[in-house]
Amino acid sequence: MPSAPYALRARWVVPVAGEPIDGGVVTICDDKIAGVGSAAETGVAAGDLFDLGDVALLPGFVNAHTHLEFSDLAVPLGHANIPLCDWIPLVVAERRRADRDSDLAVRAGLAESARYGVTAIGEIAQGNWSKAAIASLPLAVNVYLELIGLAAERVDELCAAARHHVQRTPPSDARWRTGISPQAPYSVQRDVVRRLAHLPLAMHVAESREELELLATASGSMRDMLVRFGGWPDDAFGGKLGGKKPIDVLREMCHDATNTTSATTPAATALVVHGNYLDGEAMDFLASAARPMYVVYCPRTHAYFGHDPYPLAELLRREIPIAIGTDSRASNPDLSILAELRHVAEHSPDIPLERILAMGTIAGATALMRDDECGSLEVGKTADLAAVSLDDAGRSRGATPIEQVFHSRGDIVATVAAGRVVHDPHGLIGPAAMS
């Protein structure tokens, strides 16, 4: 049933697609943005205009990589600077915990995301993912089915599961889409990646030095971990062991990926998750890849494991597109993309804030193949918005609107997803917009 149009006025409207608007207004009709501009330009009746006060109104944030199944964790697993090969067994143990309710955790993660102004998500899901849980809030969710299995005899099984997954059709009112996630170079046969590379893809690549050692020498602490799990066949990598590098994995992710491309069906994006240890050769490949490839940087998870400094500036210099993710509460205190962006700004002060903001909005939307519907405030796009409160700390020294967003300590005071208010603890928006 259509809902009455309403509008939100803010101290600043930050469209991302254009310059910030002083005292701007965003008009919403049903689930779409009907206007972006001044109150006079949008022409909304006074009774349907809600003044949010001293806030910046932005596109809903995009979390391009997370694992919502761990959203019930109060604190990350392990400890700061824990080796990845010590952390992964903790993840496996948590996943096997008898009293786990992953459905409840996913619902909690979606609700937390909404509280942090996140309206689009790249979710890595297990085979038992719940459509009802994903649809519990009107957030845009790309559900990437995680595929794990090194044994050669499991290739056909995993590929069949992947094809069944991507053929699922959501209800007309649901915002989820499907993709696949061969988990990592050390946990899935390369034949699986090659055979499914034409699909929307997300894969953990160059996440740790232990991974690089395993690829190069087929030895080290990561192999020891896999042996303990009982999963180290001789043909683990689908061929000769050793002598591999991240670029070899990236090539697999592009294998025949453009065969189904046409003027009306562009190549699906591939997400290179983490990329903490991409070398120059791998970056050169990403910069000229035959399919759209996005690096997904998870800043606070990167810091939690104490990795080497992230090659962010070099990736940007080569114009490699970058989106932002939180990973999960197994390695992160929360699911806030705004906190991730502020972390990047604090630790990379030479990168323009506009470029950092884009990573958590329009770049993330493009990585998820949703830039036609979200990631910026433009007429015709889905009404996904986040309101960030501003404070004196942000306004100091005549800061620009975007500087105020980054330097304020303000929280998300309202979130709208597909025109529906999903977070409004202070009642800033009237009940007419709640339906």
Per-residue pLDDT of 61-83, as tens digits, reads 999 999 999 999 999 999 999 99
The tally of CA atoms less than 13 A away on the side-chain side of residue 117 is 26
- Going by the DSSP 8-state scheme, the letter that residue 24 receives in this structure is -
In the predicted model, what is the mean pLDDT of residues 77-90? 97
- Average pLDDT on 114-125 reads 98
The one-letter amino acid at 119: T
The pLDDT score that the predictor gives to residue 280 is: 96
| Mean local confidence (pLDDT), 324-340 | 98
Task: Please state the separation of Cα 143 from the chain's center in Å.
Answer: 11
- Alpha-carbon distance 266 to 269, whole Å? 9
Q: What is the pLDDT of residue 331?
A: 98
pLDDT recorded at residue 261: 45
pLDDT at 413 over 90: yes
Confidence of residue 257 (pLDDT cuts 50, 70, 90): low
Determine contact, residues 31/384, Cβ cutoff 8 Å: no
pLDDT per residue over 139-169, tens digit each? Answer: 999 999 999 998 888 999 999 999 999 998 8
pLDDT, tens digit, 9 for 90 and up, residues 186-203: 999 889 999 999 999 999
Percent of the chain with pLDDT over 90: 79
What confidence score (pLDDT) does residue 1 get?
43
Question: Sorting pLDDT into bands at 50, 70 and 90, what band is 52?
Answer: very high
Look at the chain and count its residues.
435
119: Cα separation from own chain's centroid: 10
For 196-241, write each residue's pLDDT tens digit.
999 999 999 999 999 999 999 888 999 999 888 876 766 555 455 5
How high is the pLDDT of residue 262?
44
Question: How sure is the predictor about 387, in pLDDT bands with cuts at 50, 70 and 90?
Answer: very high
- DSSP label of 379: T
Which range is least confidently modeled, 262-271, 325-334, 372-381, 382-391? 262-271
pLDDT digits (tens, 9 = 90+) for 285-325: 999 998 999 999 999 999 999 999 999 999 999 999 999 99
Question: Are the C-beta atoms of residues 13 and 26 closer than 8 Å to each other?
Answer: yes
Domains of the chain, CATH where assigned? 6-60+376-433 (2.30.40.10), 61-367 (3.20.20.140)
CA 182, CA 178: separation in Å to the nearest integer?
A: 14
Mean pLDDT, the chain, integer: 91
Residue 215, amino acid: L
Residue 355 has pLDDT above 80, yes or no: yes
Paired sense of beta strands 55-59 and 61-66, if any: unpaired
Q: Which two tokens stand for residue 411?
A: 């929280």
The pLDDT, as a whole number, for residue 290 is: 87
Can you give the pLDDT at residue 2?
53
Write down the pLDDT at residue 264: 43
pLDDT reading at 394 higher than 80: no
**55-69, 98-112, 249-263, 377-391: least confident range:** 249-263
Q: How far apart are CA 18 and CA 401, in angstroms?
A: 13
pLDDT at 263 over 50: no
